[in-house]
């Protein structure tokens, strides 16, 4: 990573952490250069990088303003901001994005999956069951991720798995939070089994409905067991 890229990353982290909230201005170029022990040219290049992602905008004669995340145009900073977020809004937004991609992937996979794909899915489902019985959250999460990865690849479209690549760490983080709850693990197993059964039939509409039901279950479990835990 170059020095300007490193400084751009530091500034992005400061924006995400709230040091420079949306609508605020970054410190003047000279001040940033002195604070970071770099040249003003380096600061200029770092800000240029953030401008290219629409993280900040320059208003001539007034300064460099921080844009809200919903105006950012690059996926990497948005994912980083989401991974630092708290509350349910970002988690539910991620489920919505998953629904858009995974429902279609399941539909394609029903047409294109192979017997080897089905065998892999059965193996990952078996691992999920074993991990649920022993309370091994990490193993459960990995098997869950692996199951969905097979579905994405079984779609037969090279672009589909790539769409999920930037979400990797964020998905794993969210699944660790939800999969620690036994009721959620049980629900997930039931729905993964339904997705597998639907894919085995080769019926695209059935596969889409099964995956959509799984997304509904994921959203409901998040709201019921994680965001608003039941009172004793």
Query: 172: domain range?
Result: 86-227
Distance in angstroms (rounded) separating the CA atoms of residues 198 and 105: 13
60 and 105 inside one domain: no
| Neighbouring C-beta atoms of residue 144, cutoff 10 Å | 24
The CA-based angle 218-226-177, given to 5 degrees, is 80
79 in any annotated domain: no
Residues 99 and 187 in one domain: yes
Helix axes 75-84, 89-112, angle to 10 degrees: 120
According to the model, what pLDDT value does residue 87 have? 45
Same domain, 55 and 159: no
For residues 195 and 137, state if they share a domain.
yes
The total domain count for the chain is 2
Please state, as a whole number, how many other Cβ atoms lie within 10 Å of the Cβ of residue 194: 18
Q: Average pLDDT, stretch 114-128?
A: 98
Identify the H or E element spanning 57.
strand 56-59
What pLDDT does 86 receive? 45
Query: Are 161 and 123 in a shared domain?
Result: yes
For residues 217 and 121, membership in a common domain is answered with yes
**Judgement on whether residues 117 and 180 belong to the same structural domain of the protein:** yes
Residue 105 lies in a domain: yes
CA distance 187 to 214: 9
Domain final position from 73, 100, 130: 73
pLDDT higher for 231 or 119?
A: 119
Q: Which of 84-98, 135-149, 159-173 has the lowest mean pLDDT?
A: 84-98
- Say whether pLDDT at 161 is over 50: yes
Per-residue pLDDT averaged across 103-108, rounded? 98
In a domain, 232, yes or no: no
According to DSSP, the residues that pair with 59 across neighbouring strands are 63
Residue 164 lies in a domain: yes
């Amino acid at each position: 990573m170059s020095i300007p890229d490193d400084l751009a990353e530091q500034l992005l982290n400061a924006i995400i952490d709230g040091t420079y909230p949306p609508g605020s201005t970054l410190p003047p170029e000279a001040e940033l250069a002195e604070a970071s022990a770099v040249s003003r040219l380096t600061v200029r290049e770092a800000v240029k990088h953030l401008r290219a992602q629409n993280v900040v905008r320059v208003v001539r004669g007034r300064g460099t303003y921080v844009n809200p995340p919903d105006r950012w145009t690059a996926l990497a900073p948005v994912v980083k901001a989401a991974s630092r977020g708290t509350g349910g809004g970002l988690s539910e937004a991620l489920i919505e994005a998953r629904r858009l991609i995974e429902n279609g992937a399941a539909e394609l996979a029903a047409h294109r999956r192979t017997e080897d794909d089905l065998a892999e899915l059965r193996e990952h489902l078996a691992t999920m069951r074993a991990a649920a019985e022993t309370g091994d959250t990490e193993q459960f999460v990995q098997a869950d991720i692996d199951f969905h990865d097979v579905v994405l690849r079984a779609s037969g479209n090279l672009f589909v798995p790539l769409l999920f690549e930037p979400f990797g760490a964020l998905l794993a983080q969210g699944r660790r939070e939800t999969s620690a709850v036994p009721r959620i693990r049980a629900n997930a197993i039931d729905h993964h089994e339904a997705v597998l059964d639907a894919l085995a039939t080769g019926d695209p509409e059935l596969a889409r409905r099964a995956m959509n039901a799984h997304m509904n279950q994921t959203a409901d479990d998040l709201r019921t067991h994680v965001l608003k835990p039941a009172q004793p």
